[in-house]
Structure 1
Amino acid sequence: MEKPTVLGVDIGGSHITAALVDLEKRALIQNSIRRNAVNSQQNKEELLNAWCEVINDAFGTVPKSERNIGIAMPGPFDYENGISLIKDQDKFKSLYLINIKEELAKRLQMEPSNIKFINDAAAFMQGEVFNGAAKGYTNALGLTLGTGLGSAVSINGIAKDAALWDSKFLGGIAEDYLSTRWFVNKYFSLTGKKLAGVKELAAIANIDPYAKQIFNEFGRALGHFLADIIKEKKAEVVVLGGNISQAFNLFAPHLISNLKAFHLDTEIKLTRLNEHAALIGAASCWDLVAK
């Protein structure tokens, strides 16, 4: 049976991105990517209509009878039934307890069963397993390092949200130390200067000893955090994504040396698919179902 072309959709607090994915070639179909900014504070009708506009545009000429969608959504969310459980997060308040699957199906004139949902961190990992940096590995761990800490594990090709963000770590939780705000706060505590984010810090790391010190400290902390999880999950590879991973060369030496101190030589890889990982991962839900 020929594998279907599926629309992969990535929904975040400020955007929606969609693209057609060729499951046979395990790749995005060129020129099908559509992206729009979305205000997550909007009411239900405005939000859902904005999403549907991008989805319809990305489908292009694909007949309605042949449309399947895989959607990467942040949690908490009832992924099986398509119901939003997000509240107290300053986003999507108008969608709390709404059956998103049925609402989208109605607007898109398709069956609810043609729409599947996956956790956004799991979608990133699923994409990397499907045709990215984790392809071919039995046990893999993925982290997205940015404004928050996303995490997922893949076992035998199936990725699931690992929800490590609130793990106890260094007297707080992991996200306190492994996210953008840690870099910003740390630099401010050392210098009294406020930077916008990690990109700005990376730009001065070669000339600012405080910036260099911060990346070294982050690498050690990340290695310390990963050591127990790698052992517990028997991870053969760790795939890093998110904005912070773009400064990998600045924190990698201390990350790797700290893992070696724990007698681990697990491969650490950067995302191969970048922002396309979640799109491909969401769409690949249909390939997993086909099997």
Structure 2
Amino acid sequence: MKLNIVIALDVGGTFIKTCIVENGVPLSASQKEFPSLADQDKETILKQFMYIFKTQYEFYHSYFAENALDCYWHIGLAFPGPFDYKQGICYLQGLGKFESLYGINLRKEFHQRFEKVDDAWAQRLQSAEIRFENDARLFALGVSLDFPEDRFIALTLGTGLGSAFIDQSQVNYSFQGVPPNGWLYNQPYQNGIVDDAFSKRGVLQLAKELGAYQPGMDVKELAEAARLGSGPGREVFFEFGKRLAEMLNPYIELYKPNLIVLGGQLSKSYDLFGNALQDHIRSQQVQIYTSDNMLKNTFIGISLMFEK
């Protein structure tokens, strides 16, 4: 039986993290990180993607030569939005990343470039199926393998907030009372939107409001100070957890999940905000799970795209 090989890319504004997934299993030796060059011109960015595809194909071919020719190749990308994931068209603008790709059909671009390269790696990847999806959804799909019968809301907390609504390992794209696509980031919250409050910049703004901020401080330093006993620092994370519950409560009441799944850099501070979050969620039936390896879950989620 032929193997399914996925070149998986988690595309960020600073780095592109990549891994080869063989029959649903990420190969840790293939995990690599490349600068995304997201502020560069179209040609520079597209050449970088092609270099990553070439590097990963040649890695797999070098170590698994017998398998490399007798397998189905796929390319899956977790890409930030706005993005037409079905068509493969990038619509990022005004965010300081990948703006030169605005309106570009990346699936067509990649295939056209494979056709122009007269090398074995490009010829093999010409027939590869290429798919795109939102990173939070892919993270949630990866996690769903551990919770196949559960109904949950997944949040990725980092430079922004990503979200997905999952029911028995399927993405719920629309549910009455839940925003289109299950995206919470642009929903109103206090005097702004959800993304403003539940992100790295949101935590730092809260720290300024509560007198815990020091010039040049990042969330990591704020968390370290809180763990060492800083009263203002601990207050920041308590308030963050309380507000996160406040934001989630209406969706919990509508969607009735039995689980909230958290991933991303901010979730690493769960020990500081978790109690406040749990105490202020109104439903007693909801458990909270934090992922130890968001990137691995995302790579697995990327591979699952090709099983649907």
Residue 290 of structure 2, aligned match among 267, 270, 286? 270
- Residue 237 of structure 1 corresponds to 259
RMSD over equivalenced CA pairs, Å:
2.0
For 1:85 and 1:263, the matched residues in 2 are separated by 37
1:258 aligns with 2:280: yes
For 1:48 and 1:77, the matched residues in 2 are separated by 16
For 2:39 and 2:262, the matched residues in 1 are separated by 30
- Residue 7 of structure 2 corresponds to 7
Residue 3 (structure 1) shift: 5.6
> Aligned to 1:57, what secondary structure does the other structure show?
helix
Distance 1:235 1:111, change over 3 A: farther
Distance 1:64 1:98, change over 3 A: farther
For 1:229 and 1:69, the matched residues in 2 are separated by 34
Do the aligned partners of 2:263 and 2:290 also contact (CA within 8 Å) in 1?
A: yes
Residue 22 (structure 1) shift: 2.6
- Residue 18 of structure 1 corresponds to 18
Letter aligned with residue 100 of structure 1: L
Q: Which whole-Å deviations, capped at 9, do the CAs of 1:115-141 have from their partners, x for residues lacking one?
A: 0111111111111113x4xx2233221
Q: Which whole-Å deviations, capped at 9, do the CAs of 1:200-226 have from their partners, x for residues lacking one?
A: 111010321000111111111111111
- Residue 92 of structure 1 corresponds to 98
Residue 272 (structure 1) shift: 4.1
Residue 194 of structure 1, aligned match among 215, 230, 247? 215
- Residue 157 of structure 1 corresponds to 169
Letter aligned with residue 274 of structure 1: M
Residue 266 (structure 1) shift: 0.5
1:44 aligns with 2:49: no
Letter aligned with residue 71 of structure 1: L
- Residue 250 of structure 2 corresponds to 228
> Aligned to 1:31, what secondary structure does the other structure show?
strand
- Residue 118 of structure 1 corresponds to 133
For 2:283 and 2:140, the matched residues in 1 are separated by 25
> Aligned to 1:263, what secondary structure does the other structure show?
coil
For 2:223 and 2:217, the matched residues in 1 are separated by 11
1:166 aligns with 2:186: yes
For 2:5 and 2:56, the matched residues in 1 are separated by 12
**What pairs up with 1:64-79 in 2 under 5 angstroms?**
66-79=72-85
Residue 278 (structure 1) shift: 1.7
Distance 1:186 1:115, change over 3 A: same
Do the aligned partners of 2:78 and 2:138 also contact (CA within 8 Å) in 1?
A: yes
Letter aligned with residue 267 of structure 1: Q
> Aligned to 2:251, what secondary structure does the other structure show?
helix
Do the aligned partners of 2:37 and 2:44 also contact (CA within 8 Å) in 1?
A: no
Letter aligned with residue 172 of structure 1: G
Do the aligned partners of 1:34 and 1:57 also contact (CA within 8 Å) in 2?
A: no
For 1:235 and 1:263, the matched residues in 2 are separated by 9
Residue 112 (structure 1) shift: 6.8
Residue 211 of structure 1, aligned match among 206, 218, 233? 233
> Aligned to 2:95, what secondary structure does the other structure show?
coil
- Residue 107 of structure 1 corresponds to 113
How many pairs does the alignment contain?
281
Residue 243 (structure 1) shift: 0.8
Unaligned runs of 5+ in 2: 62-67, 115-121, 174-180
Residue 231 (structure 1) shift: 2.2
**What percentage of aligned pairs have identical amino acids?**
29
Letter aligned with residue 39 of structure 1: L
Residue 51 of structure 2, aligned match among 50, 53, 56? 53
Residue 69 (structure 1) shift: 1.2
1:178 aligns with 2:178: no
Do the aligned partners of 1:127 and 1:278 also contact (CA within 8 Å) in 2?
A: yes
Q: Which whole-Å deviations, capped at 9, do the CAs of 1:121-175 have from their partners, x for residues lacking one?
A: 1111111113x4xx22332211011111111111231235521011122232112
Do the aligned partners of 2:5 and 2:21 also contact (CA within 8 Å) in 1?
A: yes
Unaligned runs of 5+ in 1: none
Letter aligned with residue 183 of structure 2: A
Distance 1:84 1:282, change over 3 A: same
User: TM-score w.r.t. structure 1 length?
Assistant: 0.89
For 2:215 and 2:34, the matched residues in 1 are separated by 30
User: TM-score w.r.t. structure 2 length?
Assistant: 0.85
